[in-house]
Amino acid sequence: LLYERHGEAAAVVQLKDLEVPKLGDCDVHIKMLAAPINPADINMIQGRTYPLLSPLPAVGGNEGVGEVLEVGRRVKALKPGDWVIPADAGLGTWRTWGVFPEEMLLKVPSDIPVLCAATLSVNPCTAFRLLADFESLAPGDSIIQNAANSGVGQAVIQIARASGIKTINVVRDRPDLTKLVERLMALGADHVITEEMLRKPEMKNIFKSIPRPRLALNCVGGKSTTEMLRHLQPKGTMVTYGGMAKQPVMVPVSAFIFRDMRLRGFWMTQWRKDHAHDQESVAAMMDALCQLIRRGQLTAPACTEVPLQDYRAALEASMKPFVSSKQILLL
């Protein structure tokens, strides 16, 4: 799926037949199996606000899983039949075949479900780092997050649950709220509340059974963030990793002065750049996530599987509000 100019994804992305490049000595020929459509993919195609843009013409997609068909004679770590995911953003995963240098790919176990592998490199990794890198959380601690039904939000709930950490999950009010609450509770959420509820005195009841959170995860911005900050413990940390409301993060001065709040930011792409030569950290994270998947403690987000030729409908569906299902292209 190629785009030759920036713009609205459903308008500029086209399905094109291209020749598969010749296999070099350090290259790997892969058949893509499945690739999701993530908000960052759409932002890159729009070309307006995202700091990472592929040179045009570009193939869409930053995430997915493929099977190795053939390897160049200098390739050491991969062999035919192995499953691989992108080692970094910008690979262009919305394709049936591809030839890539070995260092652009990460091997993953082929005994995990294909949808888990296809959605492994962005959301679960982001969730893992958000929970690991900003506060030292222990079993019984709690965190609060907005956009809890997003791919990252669902992964945070499950990884936290496996570590004994309680989650307070904020979602937007919607027509099928009850169904969404049930789904997040089934994943292991301790509390699911709407943004309106954040402002209500009943919030105090939640903190009778669990401690106030030391960590807040913000993917929205605007009013949601300010309200969430109110419930953090003094010296707590709020990490912003998305801005769905397209509004700035507003923080009362008193939160800094009297409660010594810390505000941090996180971008998985930057983490990967910073750890490009620290393969141990990357391997440890991937191993931990794959173990959770094998134990049934981490599942793929709610997905809608779409054949490649129906890509336009999938792109349009991924842009609709309140869609709690990730569009996955089957390749």
Query: CA 294 to CA 321: how far, in whole Å?
Result: 32
Query: CA 107 to CA 315: how far, in whole Å?
Result: 28
The full DSSP string for 258-312 is: TT--EEEE--HHHHHHHTTT-HHHHHHHHHHHHHHHHTTSS-PPSEEEEEGGGHH
Report which secondary-structure segment, H or E, holds 67. strand 65-71
> What are the residue ranges in the chain where pLDDT is below 70?
322, 324
Say what the pLDDT of residue 319 is.
Answer: 85
Say what the pLDDT of residue 322 is.
Answer: 67
Q: Structural domain boundaries of the chain?
A: 2-119+300-330, 125-268
Please pick, among 3, 50, 241, 311, the residue that the annotation labels catalytic: 50
How far is CA 15 from each of CA 3, 11, 18, 93, 112, rounded to the nearest angstrom? Answer: 9, 12, 10, 13, 29
pLDDT in tens, 4-44: 999 999 999 999 999 999 999 999 999 999 999 998 899 89
- Options 3.40.50.720, 1.10.10.10, 3.90.550.10, 3.50.50.60; CATH for 125-268 is 3.40.50.720
pLDDT in tens, 197-211: 998 988 989 999 999
Query: CA 242 to CA 217: how far, in whole Å?
Result: 9
Let me know if 241 is a catalytic residue.
no
DSSP state of 102: G
At a CB cut-off of 8 Å and minimum separation 6, what does 30 contact? Answer: 66, 67, 68, 69, 84, 97, 98, 99, 100, 105
Q: Do domains 2-119+300-330 and 125-268 have the same CATH topology?
A: no
Say what the pLDDT of residue 52 is.
Answer: 82
Say what the pLDDT of residue 244 is.
Answer: 84
CATH 3.30.420.40 fits 2-119+300-330, yes or no: no
CA gyration radius for the chain? 20
